[in-house]
Amino acid sequence: MKKTIALILVSLMLTFLVACGADNGGETKPADTEASKTDVDTSADTDEETQGGVPIDQFSEKYVCIYMDAYGSPLTDLDILKDYTLELKGDGTGKLELDGIENEFTWKVDGGKIVMTSYTDTVATVDGDVITIDDWMEQGVAYKFAKEGSEAASAGIPEPLSEEEQAIIGTWTSYKVTDLLDEDLSDEIDPGSLTMDIKEDRTVDIEAFGEDLGTETWEYLLGSFALTESDYSIDWELDEDDNLVVDVLLDDDSYARFYCVKDQ
């Protein structure tokens, strides 16, 4: 399903690129104007060619896409994005390739950022091996590209958190415990014996019944949250009072339901 959506979005983008190319003689390459040309300077202190005082070799690489947000639909699946690449060449030219279709541009470095020029300018920021583009050529499409062969290229980035997922991030401590029928269990279980530190990287540190259960991973599905690939059966959701309601499977196959509040 995600691949189908991605292909539809890319098809729309390519249609846009073709239209822009048609305005420039039917080709998707930058116009040969003085404004679009990139000058390569030679520093007085070094024989290395530079762009804006930065050695070209620092950025002239091939990059693979690890994230794309096309019209509000984020994609992080590396299997889908593997055919989207960005190449910055040492002669100040480059190309964005989307599933075999190329869009050419010129580029330079200005103030530590990369400026790519085709029919308009796109400014990209650089953080280590990752190039971030917030809006490619004013098309409303964002990208993150990682240097080919780098750790970032193979690891990718996690799917951005949804609004529902963002709401649970933080440390939660229980204050009430019942069974699934809302019968009080405080005579058997300490109401304050559960703490969950839920993190943005979709991991959670759990302490329950005075025991550190370690770090687990979690996922959001159909309105509720649960641990993934865990020895523990723990799931939770937010109620209408913004309590985190956590169901924990006990050793006797019954459940304890903890009501938790977020630490301030």
- What would the pLDDT profile of 5-23 be if each residue is shown by its tens digit? 454 555 545 444 444 443 4
Which class does domain 2-155 fall in?
Answer: mainly beta
Q: How confident is the model at residue 104 (pLDDT cuts 50, 70, 90)?
A: very high
Averaged confidence pLDDT in the chain: 83
Judge contact between 172 and 157, C-beta under 8 A.
no
CATH 2.40.128.20 domain extents, the chain: 163-262
Q: What is the mean pLDDT of residues 201-220?
A: 96
State mean pLDDT over 208-225: 94
E strand or H helix at 164: helix 163-166
With bands split at pLDDT 50, 70 and 90, how would you rate the model's confidence at 55? low
Q: What is the pLDDT of residues 24-53, one digit of tens each?
A: 434 433 333 333 333 333 333 333 455 545
The CATH number of domain 163-262, selected from 3.40.640.10, 2.40.128.20, 2.40.110.10, 1.20.120.1200: 2.40.128.20
Q: How far apart are CA 163 and CA 152, in angstroms?
A: 25
Q: Percent of the chain at pLDDT above 70? A: 78
Query: Does the pLDDT value for residue 241 go beyond 50?
Result: yes
176 vs 190: CA distance, rounded Å: 8
* Position 150 pLDDT exceeds 50: yes
- The beta-strand segments (E) located in the chain are 41-42, 49-51, 54-55, 62-70, 73-75, 84-88, 93-98, 101-110, 113-117, 121-127, 130-133, 141-147, 170-178, 194-198, 203-208, 211-221, 224-228, 234-238, 244-249, 255-262
Residues paired with residue 109 on neighbouring β-strands, in sequence order:
114
In this predicted structure, what is the pLDDT of residue 112? Answer: 84
